[in-house]
Amino acid sequence: MTDALVPLMVLLPMLGAATALMLGRHLRAQMAVSTGVLAAVATIAVVLLAEVDGSGSGIAVEVGAWPAPFGIVLVVDRLSAIMIIISAIMLLGVLVYAVGQGIADQHRETPVSIFHPTYLILSAGVFNAFVAGDLFNLYVGFEILLSASYVLLTLGGTGERIRAGITYIIVSLMSSLFFLSAIALIYGATGTATIAQLSVRIAELPQDVQLMLHLLLLIAFGIKAAVFPLSFWLPDSYPTAPAPVTAVFAGLLTKVGVYAIIRAETVIFPESDLSTLFLVVGGLTMAVGILGALTQADIKRLLSFTLVSHIGYMIFGIGLASIAGLAATIYYVVHHITVQTTLFLTTGLIERFGGATSITRLGGLRSASPVLAVLFFVPALNLGGIPPFSGFLGKVGLFVAGADAANGTAASQTLGTSSTGPAWLIWVVIAVGTATSLVTLYALARFWNLAFWRPTGDVEGYRSAMIDSMQEAPAGATLVATRTTPRLMVAATTALVLLTVALTVFAGPLYDLAGRAAENLRDASVYVSLVFPEGVR
Amino acid sequence: MTPTLVLVIVAAALFGAGVAVMLERSLTRVLIGFLLVGNGVNLFMFSMAGAPGLAPLLVDGVDEAALSDPLPQAFVLTAIVINLGLTAFMLALVYRTWWLAQLGAQGDIIGDEEDAEEDAVETAGLIRSTAEDDRAVQDVLDASDEEVRR
């Protein structure tokens, strides 16, 4: 029974997109379809999580009853179910926000009739990537979500958006070509693209061939996950899109890349050991990302840089190659999806209310709109890693797992046969992570000081060394301060802020769940036996 | 499993030519480069099927070892369809940037850092005119939509 639900998670958004497209200009009907579909997917994912968490393993569905190495196989284990639930909830929240914005904007800045279908296709791609049990199906999932994201990023086709979108589109096209070449090479070397079968066959290849295939695949995933030095495109392309689009991209698209990296490390290449590389790259991503954020005057660009920076924590967690490290990574991914999305939505509200996103032009927001202040303050502290919020818990989890791995204590059971990097390197990255967390807090607190606490009258002619050190965004669009905060947009943002708080309040059970999800990844054979119960070679 | 050398050479030539064209600044050339490399990857994938064989039809009395591998063919077909969709989108994008260029914006030339520093003043003017262009384009779009509705 539950088997039939798995393909529905991809099918429903696809059918919903078709329906929404046919409904064309009936905005209300479109809204009903898209919210209904996303709510349905969230519900299905909850049912599936309950099922796989109860049974302790997972569900593998052979689509069209074609047996596994030849047909398409969809796999749901705890990790995929968690990712789908959080994505579906985020997509739903952002959709409500976007609808609120569409209703509030009387002029047609964005052609609403194609927004809903494209948004649902993006969702279908995300969900497909999370359940793909086949490397080629993962590629198709990526392509679905990327094609939809191209459309969303250049929505309305204004000059500014097209210029920013071109960078993103060309970089993504290149990464797709990389991914496809990697699949071709892997198929040539092993004769299969099914992830479970690859796990067995890749291990039989010579070490150098494994390493080459591994790196090629990681480059493709790394561009999507915006890992330094493949992250250059992100801060240039995200900020110009409409607020809800940026929020979804920031929250979800990079995490799909992180998810693919986790799968590659734990299932496809359990033997090939790149822990040291991951630790180095993770540390660099944190440091370089946050240093970029420091010089930004525009909050959207600032957040894009913190997004890059915090991907570093996840890469660090993966590099630890221990169960505890992965558990912390999974919790951190969930936390980061929620908080980053929420902050971008709040920024959208600030943009409407204050008419600017640059700290040189904003001021006095706290007294003007206390609600907005709370909606910004809570997720900002959370992202900065202030106790007791989930950002703090996630980082502590990562650092504790790192310390365990560095000390070689019993808690640091490594995955499969891989080993962790050198102990001193882990301590260095932990130090970088702590510094990054503080600098994130500094950057956000500075925005808070200037935009929320500074009296409105001070904005004109205000000079300080702090502001002089920062750059304006290259192309600032002319914004109109509406001094309004539409109720639906505020409601959606509030709901997501409450969700970030809930991640803190229910951190205990959630962390245990993340631990059980990581436990599933301990050994590649768990995944393999899901798809091939009788064994495979 | 001996792949044919011809396919590999053609794929390599497509890769090389595609990357060379893609390094140009014009968006149209980037698109052409993407098409060349995309087809190169497809051929490459195709060559991974090994030596060519009989059509992969499992009828009575056929020697299974003589069949060609159908899976890469299915992959390539899917990739071709995806490339087709992306090409259509890119063409629309190229057309749109051309249109914007006609209206006086920078068009499909993506300025790099040095350029931006050199003519910062000019850029500031352009940004202002871009906003006007956007409004002009939006007006044209709205007008055409109105016509369609009628």
Q: Kindly state the tokens that stand for B30.
A: 């980037």
Q: Kindly state the tokens that stand for A126.
A: 């995300």
A284-288, A299-303, A451-455: range with highest mean pLDDT: A284-288
The fold for domain B5-110 equals Helix Hairpins (1.10.287)
Predicted local confidence at residue B118, as pLDDT: 52
Q: Which helix (H) or strand (E) holds A58?
A: strand A58-62
Please provide the DSSP assignment of A80-137 as one string. HHHHHHHHHHHHHHHHHHHHHHHHH--S-SS-HHHHHHHHHHHHHHHHHHHHB-BHHH
Predicted local confidence at residue B120, as pLDDT: 54
Instruction: Give the mean model confidence (pLDDT) for residues A178-200.
Output: 90
Predicted local confidence at residue A461, as pLDDT: 59
Predicted local confidence at residue A238, as pLDDT: 83
The complex scores an ipTM of 0.83
Q: Mutating which of B80, B134, B141 best tests the A interface, going by the most A Cβ atoms within 10 A?
A: B134
How far apart, in whole angstroms, are the C-alpha atoms of residue A223 and residue B13?
25
- Calculated CA dihedral for residues B142, B147, B149, B150, nearest 10 degrees: 150
Name chain A contacts of B34, Cβ cutoff 8 Å: 170, 173, 177
Name chain A contacts of B127, Cβ cutoff 8 Å: 475-476
Name chain A contacts of B130, Cβ cutoff 8 Å: 158-160, 475
Per-residue pLDDT of A42-101, as tens digits, reads 999 999 998 888 887 888 888 888 887 888 899 998 899 999 999 999 999 999 888 888
Per-residue pLDDT of A112-151, as tens digits, reads 678 889 999 999 999 999 999 889 999 999 999 999 999 9
- pLDDT band at A39; cut points 50, 70, 90: very high
Instruction: Give the mean model confidence (pLDDT) for residues A257-282.
Output: 87
To the nearest whole angstrom, how far is the Cα of B61 from the nearest Cα of chain A?
22
Smallest CA–CA distance from A189 into chain B, residue: B48
Predicted local confidence at residue A111, as pLDDT: 57
How far apart, in whole angstroms, are the C-alpha atoms of residue A396 and residue A387?
10
Q: Which residues contact B37 (CB under 8 A, 6 or more apart)?
A: A177, B14, B15, B18, B19, B22
Smallest CA–CA distance from A477 into chain B, residue: B131
Nearest CB partner across the interface for A181, out of B3, B44, B89: B44
Helices (H), ranges, A193-233: 195-202, 207-225
Smallest CA–CA distance from A165 into chain B, residue: B93
* B93/A184 touch (CB, cutoff 8 Å), yes or no: no
| Residue ranges of chain B whose pLDDT lies below 50 | 106-110, 114, 116, 119, 123
Chains A & B: contacts with CB separation below 8 Å = 88
Nearest CB partner across the interface for B48, out of A136, A140, A187: A187
DSSP summary character for residue A453: I
Question: A481 with A356: CB under 8 angstroms?
Answer: yes
* A180/B45 touch (CB, cutoff 8 Å), yes or no: yes
The structural domains of chain B, with segments of one domain joined by +, span 5-110, 113-150
Q: How many CB atoms lie within 10 A of CB B25?
A: 11
Predicted local confidence at residue A368, as pLDDT: 76
Name chain B contacts of A108, Cβ cutoff 8 Å: 138, 142
Predicted local confidence at residue A419, as pLDDT: 66
- Which of A309-323, A412-426, B99-113 bottoms out in mean pLDDT, i.e. has the lowest? B99-113
Q: What pTM does this model have?
A: 0.87
The closest alpha carbon to A401, from A382, A426, A378, A419, belongs to A426
Total number of residues shown for chain A: 537
pLDDT at residue A365 greater than cutoff 80 = no
Instruction: Give the mean model confidence (pLDDT) for residues A175-187.
Output: 92
Predicted local confidence at residue A215, as pLDDT: 92
Per-residue pLDDT of A232-244, as tens digits, reads 888 888 888 888 8
How far apart, in whole angstroms, are the C-alpha atoms of residue A88 and residue A36?
11
- The SS3 call for residue A242 is coil
Predicted local confidence at residue A475, as pLDDT: 45
Total number of residues shown for chain B: 150
Name chain B contacts of A64, Cβ cutoff 8 Å: none
* B134/A184 touch (CB, cutoff 8 Å), yes or no: no
* B86/A147 touch (CB, cutoff 8 Å), yes or no: yes
Helices (H), ranges, A154-296: 159-190, 195-202, 207-225, 234-237, 243-248, 254-263, 275-294
Name chain B contacts of A193, Cβ cutoff 8 Å: 71, 75
The structural domains of chain A, with segments of one domain joined by +, span 2-531
* A184/B86 touch (CB, cutoff 8 Å), yes or no: no
